[in-house]
Amino acid sequence: MSSFNFSDNLLFLCMFCYFTLIQKVLSHLPLGHNCPNTTTYTTNSSYAANLNSLLSNLTSNATGDTGFYNFTSGRNPPDIAYGLFLCRGEVTVDDCRECVAGASTEILGTCPIERRSTIWYDNCLMRYSNESIFSIPDMSVVLILSNPQNVTNQEMFNKTLWTLMGDIATQASNDQSGKKFATGEANFTAQQQNILDLGNAHLI
């Protein structure tokens, strides 16, 4: 009897470790990237040196509670490198730092010799450019992940979604913790179907 319990416990422990490992591995895989391939640089150029300095600076500053940082490296355009990272509001400082460190390496391999690049992970995003990206909206830099589940009432869903997104944006922008992060939930059907929303709002 005791050996049976031991076997069950061992199986449970192995399954737990397996799924924990899988979750850890998946969190290190990029969700997507944007490499516009508009301008490139050479590996021994001033921009390359500025970009390496920028990525090093971003990585070393992924230690704050806000989960956000931007930096500029260089003085002379077009060789100035502008960059930032943003971690999801509820991730720990350690997970944020780990994500940013991985992103700073992966982004160079994913978008080699690109002067403009963005990479997304579940826990963070990183972006750099040879033109200023601070406080300038850019709708070309987006990541869309679709849900295959059908919506029964599309009109009501869209109305509820836009209202919820507006509420989340307001809450996130007014967040006094510095993270500018908020989550919310709204019901849109009699069958208790819910929309879950998450928002980070930083003036970058």
Taking CA atoms, 57 is separated from 16, 97, 101, 114, 197, in Å, by 37, 12, 10, 19, 31
**pLDDT at position 149:** 77
**DSSP secondary structure string for all residues of 17-68:** HHHHHHHHHHHTS-SEEE---S-B--TTSHHHHHHHHHHHHHHHTTTSSS-E
Tens of pLDDT, residues 36-60: 878 899 999 999 999 999 999 999 9
Mean pLDDT, the chain, integer: 82
Share of the chain above pLDDT 70, in %: 83
Band of pLDDT at residue 202, cut at 50, 70 and 90:
low
Tokens describing residue 5:
């319990």
Taking CA atoms, 24 is separated from 19, 31, 96, 161, in Å, by 8, 14, 13, 30
Q: Which residues contact 126 (CB under 8 A, 6 or more apart)?
A: 58, 83, 84, 85, 100, 103, 104, 107, 118, 119
Measured between alpha carbons, how far is 100 from 7 in angstroms, rounded to an integer?
A: 40
Tens of pLDDT, residues 139-154: 777 777 777 777 778 8
Q: CA quadruple 99, 116, 84, 120: dihedral positive or negative?
A: negative
**pLDDT at position 191:** 65
Measured between alpha carbons, how far is 158 from 151 in angstroms, rounded to an integer?
A: 10
Q: Which residues contact 151 (CB under 8 A, 6 or more apart)?
A: 157
**pLDDT at position 153:** 81
Q: Are 88 and 200 contacting, i.e. CB atoms less than 8 angstroms apart?
A: yes
